[in-house]
Structure 1
Amino acid sequence: MLRILAVAALALLAPACSRGDAGATEGAGAAKRVTLTIAGPRGSHEFRVEVASTADAQERGLMFRTDIPKDGGMLFAPYPPDGGPPKPAIFWMKNTPSPLDILFIRPDHTIARIAENSVPFSETPIPSGEAVTAVLEINGGRAGELGIDEGDKVTWESGPGDGKPG
């Protein structure tokens, strides 16, 4: 009985994951890109990232991608994509061949949690641990290389449809 409950719980969890079984992500030319800055006591760093602001784009994320620029990545904003109130996020690495650092961002734009070097192709849930309004995926190990830490401030360009929270 306990095993059936565990399987049922995972089945309920799957739709909440930001990764699905879709093919490639938005075409490279079609995805909106923004400049994103992470600043903290150890300095600041700029990234040029794609914005996944729709449910479909967030479901695909960086699946099947091996061409992530060193200072690139993907911003999932707003999260949730329906623009609802902040909520806990659960990600996974299904069909994602590149290790990623997953940064969960609070409504006040600070980093709540960093899941470092998430394992490629893993279907293990990666929870935010608290309600968030955005999630950033960057190359695995980049957060550590740059001294990015929980509590650092994340900002990005504002403009129509950029998904900037708050």
Structure 2
Amino acid sequence: MVLAGSLLLAGCQQEAQGSPPKPAPAAPVKPPVTDVNAEDYPMQPLPRGHVRLKDAYGGVHRVEVEIAATREARTRGLMWRKELADGKGMLFLFPHEEVQGFWMRNTLIPLDMLFISSDLRVVGIVSRAQPKSLESRSVGVPSQYVLEVPGGWTEKVGVRTGSTVQFEGVSGVDIAP
């Protein structure tokens, strides 16, 4: 009891003499993530629209898309997504028509890539692109747009090279270089 009282008295005397209490260590501040390829990069929501594709049998398939029209959005693409439902995809818009190449870095799911010309025709398809690959995928033909959908989707619905395409809700989106 005497010892406890002595310690309390000593602590009060230190405080009275102006010794400041020791501050608790501050939690480390995490710098913001600026690498668009990083899993925890805070990507802003993308504009949305629809792509209508005519299949080889005359049917039409409508895909709800996120629209990647900036360098940041095109670089990020579908990285780190664990699933992509049928009827969903991402439409990449480029400023002009040229031969496009895509890789699957940090992409966890297989994708079909439909390369679309400026006159809205499918000029080539890469089917079931392998996830997490750095191999460049291209069809070797100029395109201005690329639609990514779940792997195997184009075969399942009958969309082929030469299929026609229509965009809905895309015309108002500005394409950044």
Q: Please, what TM-score do these two structures have when normalized by structure 2?
A: 0.72
What is the alpha-carbon distance in structure 1 between the residues aligned to residue 163 and residue 136 of structure 2?
A: 24
Q: CA deviation at 1:69?
A: 2.2
Partner of 1:37: 52
Q: Which residue does the alignment assign to 2:88? A: 72
- Secondary structure of the equivalent of 1:90? coil
CA distance in structure 2 between the aligned counterparts of 1:106 and 1:22, rounded to whole angstroms? 31
The match for 2:173 among 124, 138, 161 is 161
What SS class does the counterpart of residue 102 from structure 1 fall into?
Answer: strand
The match for 1:16 is: none
The reply on whether 1:102 has 2:113 as its aligned counterpart is yes
One-letter amino acid matched to 1:70: D
- Give the corresponding residue for 1:51: 67
After TM superposition, give the deviation of residue 66 of structure 1 in Å: 1.4
Counterpart code for 1:37: R
The runs of 5 or more residues in structure 2 that have no matched partner are: 1-35
1:26 to 40, 43, 55: 43
- Structure 1 residues 98, 38: CA separation in 2 closer, same or farther (over 3 Å shift)? same
Deviations 1:115-142 (A, max 9, x none): 0000011111101311111000000000
Q: CA deviation at 1:155?
A: 1.0
Identity %, equivalent residues:
32
What is aligned with 2:138?
Answer: 127
What SS does structure 2 have at the residue aligned with 1:134?
strand
Distance in 2, Cα, partners of 1:25 & 1:143: 31
Please state whether the residue corresponding to 1:57 is helix, strand or coil: helix
Report the Cα offset of residue 22 of structure 1: 4.0
Distance 2:54 2:171 in 1: 21
TM-score if structure 1 supplies the norm length? 0.76
Aligned residue type for 1:39: K
